[in-house]
Amino acid sequence: MVRIPENIENLKSYKPGKPIDQIIEEFGLKETAILWNNENNFGPSPLAMEYLQKSMANSHLYPDPACLELRGLIAKKNQVLIGNVAVGNGSESLFNNLFNSFFEVGDELLTCAGTFVAVYIWAQANKVKVNTVPLTSTYNFDLDALAKRVDKKTKAIYLSNPNNPTGAMISGEEMVNFIKKIPPEVIIVVDEAYYEYAVDLSPDYPDTTAYRYDNVITLRTFSKAYGIAAIRIGYAIASERMIDALMKVKLTFEPSNVAQAAGIGAIQDEKYLRNTVENNTHELHYYYRELHKLGYNFIPSYANFVMLDLGNPESVQILFEELMKRGVFVRVLRAFGLPHCLRITVGLPEENRLCLKALAECKSLIPA
């Protein structure tokens, strides 16, 4: 019998629930609001789709392994050199490549419990030990505790800003003060998947690509604000030395020709980006007002979702099931280590109104 390594044998893979179509048929749903994966329900960037369609004519050819056109546009937009940019099959792929690029036997990752679940999965898959400290009482990264926890085995620190799934934000001043406390040989990975939303929601949100610290690497994605999650395209910005290491370990022809083309179109689609960001800011504040009226405990967010703290897992499960019966699909945060919390994506205006109507109907069903 083939032996499977212990780290893979014990790895808990993603367990998808019932297909949405099956649930719709089961409950006879006439209206739905798909608000569980932080997707952009405006659909994909039209310009991204235009570039993608054109690229398909060359699908018999291998894509540019250096991704020069896309990396050049990303570099220009972020005012860095092309050598400061790497791209991959989503920022999650780039994070996985970090383990292959920089970690050696015995190196450890440091982060907070209650952040992006893929961090723990990829670490275990790569035989990397993860050390965690709790989030703060406001569900943010505890930067002081993280700084104190750094030791000789700490190779990298992962920060999600704003944090997924809580939505809490690290301010510019907090970020700079934290970076200055960390030894220069320790990598600081800042996941800015919700960057485009966050900068519109707060003037204090930091753009870490502008910091120019040699040990800071910023991850971003086209999956959220640009609406092309299924195409899988993300990028990293860091020092040329770090980017060179990432480029060495990536799959040769990653990302595909269509993914590169979609990214090229998306990053130029300023009209689409402006519309989707404006909708998010407006609708997020609408959620705040209505959730406050209904008496739900929520965490202020700097992303395209809002997290409810219901106090216990039982209330979360009741609300999740009742919302589903009413056509509203949201995310239970058990896998994130927050079983007493539930996350709701900001969708289209009509979806958000359906969600809030359902939340009003369900409030009395949740134990006090």
Residues 23, 52 share a domain:
no
Residues 191, 292 share a domain:
no
Residues 81, 65 share a domain:
yes
- The domain that holds 328 is classified in CATH as 3.90.1150.10
Query: Is residue 201 domain-resident?
Result: yes
Query: Is residue 223 domain-resident?
Result: yes
Query: Tell me, what's the pLDDT at 348?
Result: 98
Residue 341 has pLDDT above 80, yes or no: yes
Interval 45-102: pLDDT, tens: 999 999 999 999 999 999 999 999 999 999 999 999 999 999 999 988 999 999 999 9
Query: Tell me, what's the pLDDT at 257?
Result: 96
Residues 243, 286 share a domain:
no
Among the candidates 252, 269, 286, a domain finishes at: 269
Query: Tell me, what's the pLDDT at 15?
Result: 63
Domains in the chain, number: 2
Domain of residue 301, residue span: 6-44+271-365
Mean pLDDT score, 304-319? 97
Task: Name 153's Cβ contacts closer than 8 Å, sequence gap at least 6.
Answer: 106, 107, 108, 129
Per the prediction, the chain carries an average pLDDT of 95
The number of CA neighbours under 13 Å toward the Cβ of 134 is 4
Query: Tell me, what's the pLDDT at 16?
Result: 60
Complete DSSP assignment for 109-159: EEEESSS-THHHHHHHHTT-EEEEE---TTSS--HHHHHHH--TTEEEEEE
Residues 120, 207 share a domain:
yes
Query: Tell me, what's the pLDDT at 26?
Result: 85
Overall pTM > 0.85: yes
Among the candidates 207, 235, 269, a domain finishes at: 269
Residues 229, 109 share a domain:
yes
Residues 339, 212 share a domain:
no
Query: Is residue 359 domain-resident?
Result: yes
Return the percentage of the chain with pLDDT > 90, whole number: 89
Residue 367 has pLDDT above 80, yes or no: yes
Query: Is residue 159 domain-resident?
Result: yes
Out of 24-28, 142-146, 185-189, 216-220, which region has the weakest mean confidence (pLDDT)? 24-28
Residue 184 has pLDDT above 70, yes or no: yes
| Tokens 């040329």 belong to residue | 240
Query: Is residue 227 domain-resident?
Result: yes
Residues 158, 238 share a domain:
yes
Residues 174, 67 share a domain:
yes
Residue 220 has pLDDT above 80, yes or no: yes
Query: Is residue 135 domain-resident?
Result: yes
Amino acid identity of residue 267, one-letter, is I
Interval 271-294: pLDDT, tens: 999 999 999 999 999 999 999 999
- The domain that holds 56 is classified in CATH as 3.40.640.10
Residues 289, 242 share a domain:
no
Query: Tell me, what's the pLDDT at 17?
Result: 62
Residues 235, 144 share a domain:
yes
Interval 2-20: pLDDT, tens: 888 888 888 877 666 678 8
CA distance 139 to 75: 33
Query: Tell me, what's the pLDDT at 294?
Result: 97
CA distance 333 to 328: 16
Query: Is residue 1 domain-resident?
Result: no
| Tokens 């809002």 belong to residue | 306
Residues 348, 217 share a domain:
no
Query: Is residue 14 domain-resident?
Result: yes
Among the candidates 269, 294, 329, a domain finishes at: 269
- Give, in degrees to the nearest 5, the angle at Cα 306 between 326 and 45: 85
* b/e 13-34 (16+ beta carbons within 10 angstroms → b): eeeeeeeeeebbeeeeeeebbe
